[in-house]
Amino acid sequence: MDNTVENLLSPPKLLDEQNEIYNELVKSVGQNVKLKYPQSGDYRSAFVIYNIDEEPGDEALVFYESKNTAAGESSLRLKIFDKINDKYEAVYDLACAGSEVESISFERLGQNSEVNIVVRYTLLNQSEKAFSVYSYEDRTPIELYSSTYVCLDVFDINNDGADELITVSYDKALQNSTAMMFTDGENGFEKLSQTDLYGGTSDYIRVTEGKVDEQTSALFLDYSKGGGISGTDVLYCADNQLFCPYGVGNTIAVPTIQRVTNDYMSDIFCCDIDGDGFVEVPNTKLLPGYETTNKNEQLYAIEWYTVAYSKYALEHYSYVSSKYYFALLFPSRWLGVVTAVADFTNNEIVFISYDEHIGLNTEFAHEILRIRAVDKDDKEGLKDAQNLTFIGETDETYYCIKQQDGRLALTESELQNCFKML
């Protein structure tokens, strides 16, 4: 068997239907066709088969690179084939808005029953992205909208029972991010609303669909600003208007919630930390006692915020271990008087009552609780943990605790509610 790199990297063999389409493509554009493959999404083949019109039967959409393009025109092309008399025939050739195909999806936006084709592209420098939205009528793709973007999602953000297209664009000159909401209905494809986002970045790294309360759906947009700074923009809709909350409580001057990372703390993303069905947004705050320690060794509390009345409202205060993948939500009586110390030698996080005169010295401070993470393959570690109390496990790790008696000790129900495995 030929196991050369060239052979291993060769494209997979085509199926009969794909062969038929490929032969028609060659007949239409010539030999030496270079197929292009979507890099993400549900459709990863260069041959995308889908019924994109009201007629029975599927159409075929094929991305390829053309050798013969006009000056200034993208070499990335989309060829559309329609089945005519049970045979695929090329019906349209389209110049694409990018250099590589990020993804293709088929959406029904708004109250329109017709399929919208959404194609996402990366541009030549690979750091910018563009998208186009098409309808397909009479064997012709009609571009409804095209623009650059840094973030894109299809989601029923206004809770009307139909999906909207949500995009975020970034203006380099103004260093400003703008979110827009589109639909397709009685008035055709249209923009319903737009709003500024407060992250002021082009680097959105994760989008979470969720709710901030029973009636309000939202997108939670985690971003990075570089230099160990990250944060989250929350985007929701009321009366078909997009909103992005800014500030905490009644103080508009408080900056957007942000997070810092260091040697002990990796980035924390928004999630439903307490299992109540609503997504919370994390914010870092120094734990008591770390104000003057080396920045790379500082331990942070994670404050978890919800959105209420267009502002962020504090829901929980916690410690989150990036190394051991657990969180401990603090009961209210711990706030301001309990801090944490990392004991990486024993794979433990130690929670102590904090006294500014004693500092973080666990030998003299009043220890409250130790949480130890034990690798299930660590025989010595399992033996050493026999005298501890088991509180939970993942596929790889057992979690055990040792708790001291005292007024700050957690009750059994508090432990069950406060300890979260990530």
| Domain termination site, one of 71, 105, 139 | 105
Position 136 in a domain: no
pLDDT at site 200:
79
Buried b (16+ CB within 10 A) or exposed e, 111-129: ebeebbbbbbbbeeeeebb
Indicate the residue type of 286: L
In the chain, how many domains are there? 2
**Nearest-5° angle of CA 362, CA 365, CA 369?**
70
Residue 256 pLDDT:
64
Domain with 348 in it: 328-422
Q: According to the model, what pLDDT value does residue 270 have? A: 95
Q: Specify the pLDDT at position 366.
A: 85
- Is the pTM of the predicted complex or chain greater than 0.95? no
Gap between the Cα atoms of 35 and 64, Å rounded: 4
Helix (H) or strand (E) segment spanning residue 5: helix 5-8
Q: In sequence order, which residues have a C-beta less than 8 Å from that of residue 1 and are 6 or more positions away?
A: none
Asked if the structure places residue 395 within a domain, the reply is: yes
Query: CA angle 130-123-192, nearest 5°?
Result: 10
257: in domain: no
Judge whether 354 lies within some domain: yes
The CA–CA distances, whole Å, from 164 to 161, 185, 245, 392 equal: 10, 11, 20, 40
Residue 119 lies in a domain: no
* Within a domain: 21: yes
Q: pLDDT tens digits, the chain, 422 residues: what are they?
A: 444 444 444 455 557 888 999 999 999 988 778 999 999 999 999 999 999 987 888 999 999 998 766 555 668 999 999 988 889 999 999 999 888 999 999 999 998 889 999 999 998 766 789 999 999 999 999 999 999 999 999 999 999 999 999 999 999 888 889 999 999 988 899 999 999 998 878 899 999 999 999 999 999 999 998 889 999 999 999 999 999 987 665 555 555 688 999 988 898 999 999 999 999 999 999 999 999 889 888 999 999 999 988 889 999 999 999 999 999 999 999 999 999 999 999 999 999 999 887 778 767 678 999 999 999 999 999 999 999 999 999 999 999 999 999 999 999 999 999 999 99
Contact between 20 and 27 (Cβ < 8 Å) = no
Is 254 within a domain?
A: no
Give yes or no for a contact between 353 and 337, defined as CB atoms under 8 angstroms apart.
yes
Q: Strand 204-213 and strand 229-238: pairing? A: unpaired
From 76, 105, 134, the end of a domain falls on: 105
Question: Do 159 and 181 form a contact (C-beta atoms < 8 A)?
Answer: no
Within-domain flag for 126: no
| Phi, psi (deg, nearest 5) at residue 182 | -120, 150
